[in-house]
Amino acid sequence: MASPLYRPFFPLLCLTASMHSYAMDDLTLSSTELPSVLSATRLKQSPAEVPGSMTVIDRELIRATGARDIPEILRLVPGMKIGYLDGTRANANYHGTNTTEARRMQVLVDGRSVYRPGLATVDWSDIPLAVEDIERIEVFRGPNTVTYGANALMGVINIISTRPELSQGTRLKVTQGNRGVKDLYGSQGFEFGNSLARLSVFGKEDTGFDSDDDGNDFRDGRRLNAVNLLGDTTLSARQTLSWQFGAKEGANQRDNDYTVLAEPSNTAFTYDRVMSEHQANSDVTARDYFAQLHWKNDLSPSHRLEIKTYAQHMERLSQWRACDSPVVFSPELRTLYQAGNVYPRRINYILRNRGSWGDPLFAANYLVNKDGLPPELLPLVDSVVAEHAAARDGQPACWDLNENLRETRYEIEIQNTMQLADNLRTVFGGSLRYDEASSDTLFGGRVDNQIGQLFGHLEYRPHHRWLLHAGAMAEDDRLSGFSLSPRVAAHFFLRPTHSLRAVYSEAVRSPDMYENNANWTYTADNLSGPVSGSDQYYALAQGPGNLKQERMRSHEVGYNGYFHDLGLSIDIKGFYDEIRDMISQPLQIVNFVPNNNSFSRFTGAETQIDWSLTRADRLRLTYAYVDFVATNRLDQRLTARNSGSAAWLRQWPGKIDSSLIYYGADMLNERRFERLDSRIAKRFDLTSTSHLNLALTWQYRLDDEGLTWPENVFNSRSQYYLSAELNF
């Protein structure tokens, strides 16, 4: 019996054998008849020519999901793991790793990176682009630093907007449902001079998860409003200018996430009683602004020059009044923190008076024997415990703090695409980028960075059955140094639309500013309470400043085939990936020790099948098997060994559309996930130029687990919402 690791390869072997008998047929089929992808190498390619694995989620699929947010659409991507910190913070990780951060995926919107430079993450809820304006989502499943630079370590998601010429007229949509869902969308397409444009405005609101695992209300609702203006201007017969502007503002509910050193444990004391009643929240006000220009000049039918530039600014503003024991301003506690941040965490248990921890002598000896506290520092422990005990009959220390963060990015890129010969083409270019992050709390001011890139890809056909690809990205990062990321690939074509591929690539991820350059402490503004002496908070988390880049080596073999007569496309991938020098530690002020000591290895296979079974029926299946090794337990949390989806889309008589989609994963942060989504929509033609669409979306959880975390709980397994859309 074959090992489960190799079972996913059986379809590839059988399919290859079955096609051998007609491999010589139709060798001259024009590639222009095939679906194409744009994001893999910056060259327009058919799926069978891509040096890697691609998933393209088209407009029909996006609509069929009924999804209100992009991460839910990405559940259709094999190997993609979707996790939630709370109702406002989703993470998409390819093949998994850490549940709290999506540090290793480059995310683009029309070629503009929305990967935050300061915190190495993507705020999916705050992207100023409506789902209704998305034409397609292209996902390169695997490392693609060679094309898009560091941070495309495990994959690239490119979200492509519907061009304005395809969205003229007026479109109004309202969506309402349970869990506080209230969405509004409106767009107007218009023409002026040599330009076509679309103005979209939208708002989104919901209440997030209902309760935590203790049954308490969960404050994780969100509200946002956004505007997006997109246009194309024809400058001449050969030149066009695409432009886009957008802004977003909103608020994300978030409970106070300050880590209290001395949590309340006995409300007979004034301190504990006041702390138990203290319910300050740290809601986040989010604002985003961007402007983007993309100039294209077709110098000849075989030569195109492009220049793209954009500027964007993100603000995440969060401030509240924190309260804690006066000992957090104790010089003795700071000395203990400087000796090792584990010691204040142990003192946290002591101050809670939990069992034998209430005996300071026992606790102090535990610190020495287990955690290695130098014995000469034991008097400091006694002093901190005594100071807190003396303060418990009084008020806590309270002060105003914030975790405000502002991030800015400017980038300009030039790209040159040339068909050098019938069997040889290339794309090459370079870019300059400036990133800045500013926060008095997280960085002690401002940190900036400059990145320069040079990239190139060469595609060569020595024979009609062979396609060879080579590419490289040279990147100089002022904070992280120089890196070179290569990729080589070879395709053997069984038919023009059926190829076997072998790919080797290397990729890097640069430490973000937060990991490497944090200078994180809390300033005691408007301090009140029984604080004597210093007003300096005990914890100071400083980035090491010398973190290395994470490095990945990837090996892939696969098959991609498109059966034109059947409307059937198949992609099968086998992979072996290793990531070294990983930065996997939790980044908390009381436990800030990032290093490059972690390692992960992913081995397995993925399959995706898309079949237009009839003119009315479309079937889509995905499956991923991932066998993984991770030295850091945090990188084991969001990797499901088995995951996938099954979708059936149907067009019924009477202009009725329906979809039924199953999503499943056997292990997401040690929790099973299974959900069945259904959507039914009816179109009513009002006039020759106007129509009304009504759609009902229903999602039903087949499991009874919290979503990613135990506190992410809904009171009902069902979510439903009704949409009404008017086009005229």
- Residue 653 in this model has a pLDDT that exceeds 50: yes
Block residue for tokens 């609101």: 205
% of the chain surpassing 70 pLDDT: 93
How many angstroms separate the CA atoms of 168 and 241, rounded? 18
Sorting pLDDT into bands at 50, 70 and 90, what band is 327? very high
- Residue 9 in this model has a pLDDT that exceeds 50: no
- Residue 17 in this model has a pLDDT that exceeds 50: no
- Residue 1 in this model has a pLDDT that exceeds 50: no
Residues 6 or more apart whose Cβ sits within 8 Å of residue 217 = 210, 211
pLDDT value at residue 181: 96
Q: Are residues 229 and 357 in the same domain?
A: no
Sorting pLDDT into bands at 50, 70 and 90, what band is 80? very high
The whole-number average pLDDT for the span 470-480 is: 95
DSSP strand E in 333-423: where? 397-402, 405-421
pLDDT value at residue 99: 61
531 in a domain, yes or no?
no
Residue 270: strand, helix, or coil:
helix
Block residue for tokens 């329906």: 658
Pick the closest to residue 184 from 727, 728, 725 (CA basis): 725
Share the mean pLDDT of the chain.
89
Q: Are residues 687 and 651 in the same domain?
A: yes
Q: Are residues 486 and 389 in the same domain?
A: no
Q: Of 381, 403, 425, which residue sits at a domain end? A: 403
% of the chain surpassing 90 pLDDT: 69
pLDDT value at residue 18: 41
Q: Are residues 249 and 295 in the same domain?
A: yes
Q: How many domains does the chain have?
A: 2
The whole-number average pLDDT for the span 120-137 is: 91
> What digits encode the pLDDT tens for the residues 280-304?
888 999 999 999 999 999 999 999 9
Give the amino acid at 163.
R
541 in a domain, yes or no?
no
Q: Are residues 386 and 476 in the same domain?
A: no
The backbone torsions φ and ψ at residue 353, rounded to the nearest 5 degrees and listed phi first, read 60, 45
| CATH assignment of the domain containing 419 | 2.40.170.20
Block residue for tokens 């390692």: 599
Q: Of 403, 432, 463, which residue sits at a domain end? A: 403
Q: Are residues 209 and 344 in the same domain?
A: no
Asked whether the whole model's pTM tops 0.85, one would answer yes
First to last CA, the chain: 61
542 in a domain, yes or no?
no
Residue 641: strand, helix, or coil:
coil
Neighbours of 723 (CB within 10 A): 22
Contact 46, 36 (CB under 8 A): yes
Which is more confidently placed, 275 or 16?
Answer: 275
Give the amino acid at 485.
S
Which residue segment(s) compose the domain that 367 sits in? 257-282+318-403
DSSP strand E in 585-672: where? 587-588, 591-592, 598-611, 617-630, 642-652, 656-665
Q: Are residues 119 and 140 in the same domain?
A: yes
Q: Are residues 114 and 263 in the same domain?
A: no
pLDDT value at residue 363: 64
pLDDT value at residue 353: 59
Which is more confidently placed, 409 or 637?
Answer: 409
528 in a domain, yes or no?
no
Q: Alpha helices, DSSP H only, in 359-408?
A: 360-371, 378-391
pLDDT value at residue 346: 80
Q: How far is CA 156 from the centre of its chain?
A: 10
Contact 69, 137 (CB under 8 A): no
Q: Are residues 595 and 452 in the same domain?
A: yes
DSSP code per residue over 160-204: EEPPGGGS-EEEEEEEEESTT-EEEEEEEEEEETTEEEEEEEEEE
361 in a domain, yes or no?
yes
pLDDT value at residue 100: 67
Angle of helix 342-351 versus helix 360-371 axis, rounded to 10: 160
pLDDT value at residue 266: 79
pLDDT value at residue 354: 46
Q: Of 350, 385, 403, which residue sits at a domain end? A: 403
How many angstroms separate the CA atoms of 334 and 340, rounded? 10
Q: Are residues 383 and 480 in the same domain?
A: no
The backbone torsions φ and ψ at residue 691, rounded to the nearest 5 degrees and listed phi first, read -155, 160
Which is more confidently placed, 373 or 76?
Answer: 76
> What digits encode the pLDDT tens for the residues 659-687?
999 999 998 888 899 999 999 999 999 99
How many angstroms separate the CA atoms of 410 and 450, rounded? 10
439 in a domain, yes or no?
yes
Pick the closest to residue 201 from 242, 222, 172 (CA basis): 172
How many angstroms separate the CA atoms of 663 and 661, rounded? 7
Q: Are residues 614 and 673 in the same domain?
A: yes
Block residue for tokens 């690239």: 156
CA distances to 27, 422, 461, 494 from 24, rounded to whole Å, are: 6, 22, 18, 7
Sorting pLDDT into bands at 50, 70 and 90, what band is 121? confident
519 in a domain, yes or no?
no
Q: Which two tokens stand for residue 616?
A: 């009315």
> What digits encode the pLDDT tens for the residues 562-608?
999 999 999 999 999 999 999 988 788 888 888 999 999 999 999 99
602 in a domain, yes or no?
yes
Contact 529, 396 (CB under 8 A): yes
Q: Which helix (H) or strand (E) holds 303?
A: strand 303-317
> What digits encode the pLDDT tens for the residues 208-239?
998 777 777 888 999 999 999 999 999 999 99
Q: Alpha helices, DSSP H only, in 392-491?
A: none
Residue 339: strand, helix, or coil:
helix
- Residue 103 in this model has a pLDDT that exceeds 90: no
How many angstroms separate the CA atoms of 516 and 118, rounded? 10
Contact 594, 583 (CB under 8 A): yes
Which is more confidently placed, 101 or 353?
Answer: 101
Block residue for tokens 């504990």: 272
How many angstroms separate the CA atoms of 423 and 464, rounded? 9
Q: Are residues 450 and 553 in the same domain?
A: yes
pLDDT value at residue 3: 40
Q: Which two tokens stand for residue 655?
A: 């202009």
Pick the closest to residue 328 from 271, 384, 380, 374 (CA basis): 384
> What digits encode the pLDDT tens for the residues 365-393?
677 877 888 888 888 888 888 888 888 89
Cα atoms in the 13 Å half-sphere on the side-chain side of 155: 23
Region of poorest pLDDT, from 330-339, 457-466, 567-576? 330-339
Residue 85: strand, helix, or coil:
strand
How many angstroms separate the CA atoms of 129 and 529, rounded? 46
